[in-house]
Amino acid sequence: MQESPKLRRLVSLLSRLPGVGEKTAQRYVLHLLTADPQIAHDLGAELATLHDQLRPCDRCGNIAEVVPNEPETTCAICRDHKRDARLLCVVGRVHDLMAIERTGAMRGRYFVLGRLLSPLEGIGPEELPLPRLAARIAADGVTEVIVATPPSVDGEATALLLKRELAILGVTMTRIASGVPHGGELEYADPITMGRALAGRQSL
């Protein structure tokens, strides 16, 4: 196939995005080529400066805007004084933080672990930022830690590790509920989900 080197390079870079293969990348480029040139230009300018303008929050690991000449980079949630500093929600990834924020139901702050315990992938307790988490809990006078790691093998293992490691701090630890999702058909729920829905039943 006789493709231009520019096209090949752009397709190869776009293929680095999660879930994007060569065909999808090509579709993106063809779309941008036929759309308003301003879109490709603006998108390019934003991406080129991405890492200069956004980086992990020094306090929680959420995405934060870099403020020039500020020694500390903090996210909007950590800076929001209306948030309850005593309620701390621990998540695995920023994606999960965002999913929780979309509910509008979280009035506390967050701590992003960045990874989950995963014996299969060789990620042990020492790879998790537990000392930093413990320091944060102590410094902010946290009274409740909500463990919002996913209800997967790695997520559950991480939750158990946190329970054990943070027990010494005397903080209340809770775990998000797991069960049949909203709108889900019981008929199609897998046995583990159904079992969790039963085990986690609450009085009506």
CA distance 119 to 34: 47
Choose, by CB under 8 A, the member of 68, 69, 81, 104 that binds its own copies. Answer: 104
Question: Shortest distance, CB of residue 113 to its own copies, whole angstroms?
Answer: 13
Report CA 41 to chain centroid distance, whole Å: 29
Tell me how far apart the 2 most distant CA atoms of the chain are, in Å.
67
Place of tokens 């039963």: 198
Which residues share a beta bridge with 118?
123
Residue 102 interacts with its own copies (CB under 8 A): yes or no: yes
Report the site for its own copies in 38-97 (rule: CB under 8 A): 39-51, 53-56, 63-65, 75-77, 80, 93-95
Enter the tokens of residue 117. Answer: 């315990």
Compute the distance between CA of residue 51 and CA of residue 76 in angstroms, rounded to an integer.
17
Closest CA to 109 of 132, 139, 86: 86
Decide if residue 31 touches its own copies (CB under 8 A): yes
Residue nearer to its own copies on the CB measure, 57 or 166 = 57
* Residue 121 sits in the site that holds its own copies (CB under 8 A): no
Q: Closer to its own copies at the Cβ: 50 or 120?
A: 50
- Min dist. Cβ of residue 36 to its own copies (A): 9
Instruction: Tell me which residue of 49, 127, 73 sits closest to 64, measured CA to CA.
Output: 73
Determine if 164 is a binding residue for its own copies (CB under 8 A).
Answer: no
Contact positions vs its own copies (CB under 8 A):
1-7, 9-10, 13-14, 16-19, 24, 26-33, 35, 37, 39-51, 53-56, 63-65, 75-77, 80, 93-95, 98, 101-102, 104
